Amino acid sequence: MLIDTHTHVIATDTKTYPLAPLFGRQSAWSAEHPLDYPDMIKAIDAAGVDKAILVQASSAYAFDNTYVSEAVAAHPGRFTGVFSVDVVAPDAVEKMKHWMAKGLTGMRIFTAGSTQPEQQTFFAEPASFPAWQYAADNGLSVCMQMQLTGAPLLATVMDRFPKVRIILDHFARVEAADGPPYAAAAPLFALAKYPNLYLKMTHRPLEQAVKGKATPETFLGKVVQEFGANRIVWGSNFPAAPQPLPDLIAMARNALSFLPQPDQDWIFFKTAQTLYPALTK
């Protein structure tokens, strides 16, 4: 089985689904090559992906998760969805309940990225605690889109909410070109002690694994050794990534070919099923 835990859908119909990007800046990829969910179905069918997680494109729709929820409702056997809300807003928990009632099974907090270069700190403020507590109480996995500089703050959240399953998108954009022992990635490896932290392996860390002095065996091997394959999921980041979906799959398969098959199985589908039980149906 192959489960893609990180895809994005953007409606080409901007009248029905108006754009309202978080931080007021739309991502280049969502403007240049939006992909609606019927075309996503075609893409994953052609690439051999069994199921996909549709992650709210914050740089297109901010906290309006309507299109993702409609995509999941249209194809519940192939998709599950990850919504975003303003976690420091007074009605954050009510908004979480609303989108969960629409069939979405995960949440994402966007704190830094291509449209927001400065690492935000709001996710660790007391105003966000009700949202974190609700996620903990309801088994809601939370994706963190952030930079590695935010790792110390994330640690404070995990100390306070040890039951929340947190997934670090793109390995927090870690750098690995320095090679073993990967001093630049030390803040990432320091988080391995938190059993509720999971890593999402997209093209970004895979590209780092062949950059400079890094190799997949030494970098990704160390990641698996520190975190365990059962705490790592693969996600393509399609169509935000520059490569086509089949190439993104091949990149991951090739980079992880040194691992024993049981570890590969965890990364390519078993861990995803643990984080998102809806994917087992």
| Residue matched to tokens 């105003």 | 127
Q: CA 232, CA 53: separation in Å to the nearest integer?
A: 15
The two three-digit tokens of residue 90, written as one number: 């007074």
Task: Note the pLDDT tens digit of each residue in 4-21.
Answer: 999 999 999 999 999 999
The confidence score (pLDDT) of residue 5 equals: 98
Which two three-digit tokens encode residue 208? 């780092």
Q: Which two tokens stand for residue 10?
A: 């953007």
Per-residue pLDDT of the chain (281 residues; tens, 9 = 90+): 999 999 999 999 999 999 999 888 898 999 999 999 999 999 999 999 999 999 999 999 999 999 999 999 999 999 999 999 999 999 999 999 999 999 999 999 999 887 888 999 999 999 999 999 999 999 999 999 999 999 999 999 999 999 999 999 999 999 999 999 999 999 999 999 999 999 999 999 999 999 999 999 999 999 999 999 999 999 999 999 999 999 999 999 999 999 999 999 999 999 999 999 999 98
Domains of the chain (ranges plus CATH)?
3-280 (3.20.20.140)
The Cα 72–Cα 53 span in angstroms is 9
Candidates 261, 265, 187, 189; CA nearest to 220 is 189
pLDDT of 246 reads: 98
